[in-house]
Amino acid sequence: MRVLVTGAAGSIGQVLLPGLTDRGHDVVGMDLVVAPDGTPSPWYVGDCGDPDAVRSTFEAAAHGGPIEAVVHLAGIPDESSLDAALASHVLTTATLLDAMREHAVSRIVYASSNHAVGRTPRTDLLDTETPPRPDTFYGVGKVAAEALLRLYADRYGLDAVALRIGSFLPQPETRRHLATWLSHDDAVRLVEAALTAPDPGFAVAYGISANTRAWWDLASARALGYAPQDDAETFAATVEETPATEADEVEAAHVGGPFVTERFWRPAR
Ligand code: 15L
């Protein structure tokens, strides 16, 4: 499948590009910055919130064969101002969706985040039926971007899969990560499942590995064909060598962990 990956220079992009290529996909990168040395994929520099830049990227990328799907990873991966969050998550998604319609690209896989439901108290395993409950402006941006995907799926019949990614890291570093970790290899498996699942329509899935201590239900991800192979439990002894702190307790209270704390509170305007 020929796939345009936005935010290709970011931490997830840098794992996905080789990962999807190794699995036989034809990957095209897009980012604000030039391709890191040694990147084998075709690459376009541009802002995916800018309709002209996106249009010309779609046109140029199509010379190598029609783009069949977009994996939208670009965006500020942290808390910012509300304006910046809306531009970074909602306007980029809108710009890409419009370009997809213009160029008959029918599937988008979106890097949403657990912070779309981050303010949910941590009790039982959380499924995707739980209402949006952002913990930050970052989370608000992700909720709004998911709503936009749903609108375009309903209006135009696009396939739009929002992956609420947990903690994408080489390995878990904190107690919270023992529940929220998404390994690099599982991230590739998850995105490939979201790209290739037959007719998903609009779907939401949590993006974590098969963690023994998971806080999120993987049923909807597995329904897409995701078969995670890693478990944060492998690292539990190392993580738990350090005594638990008050920060660990705070992080365990809500699914968004540290993003819920007052450190992230600020006026919207
Ligand atoms: C995210 O969505 C963030 O991009 C990342 O920085 C981490 O905070 C991660 O979630 C997490 O919850 O661990």
Ligand 1-lining residues (CB < 6 angstroms): 77-78, 113-115, 165, 167, 180, 257
Q: How many CB atoms lie within 10 A of CB 33?
A: 10
Domain boundaries, the chain: 2-264
Domain 2-264 has CATH 3.40.50.720: yes
For atom 13 of ligand 1, the residue with the nearest CA is 167
Q: Which of 72, 113, 180 to mutate to test the pocket of ligand 1 (most atoms within 8 A of CB)?
A: 113
Segment 87-141, tens digit of pLDDT: 999 999 999 999 999 999 999 999 999 999 999 999 999 999 999 999 999 999 9
For 151-198, the pLDDT digits (tens) are: 999 999 999 999 999 999 999 999 999 999 999 999 999 999 999 999
Decide if 138 is catalytic: yes
What's the gap in Å between 66 CA and the centre of ligand 1? 33
Query: Which residue from 202, 212, 219, 193 is spatially nearest to 126, judged by alpha carbons?
Result: 219
**Integer Cα distance of 87 and 213 in angstroms:** 34
Percent of the chain having pLDDT more than 90? 98
Question: Which of 44, 110, 138, 206 is flagged as catalytic?
Answer: 138
- One-letter amino acid for residue 164 of the chain: R
pTM value > 0.85:
yes
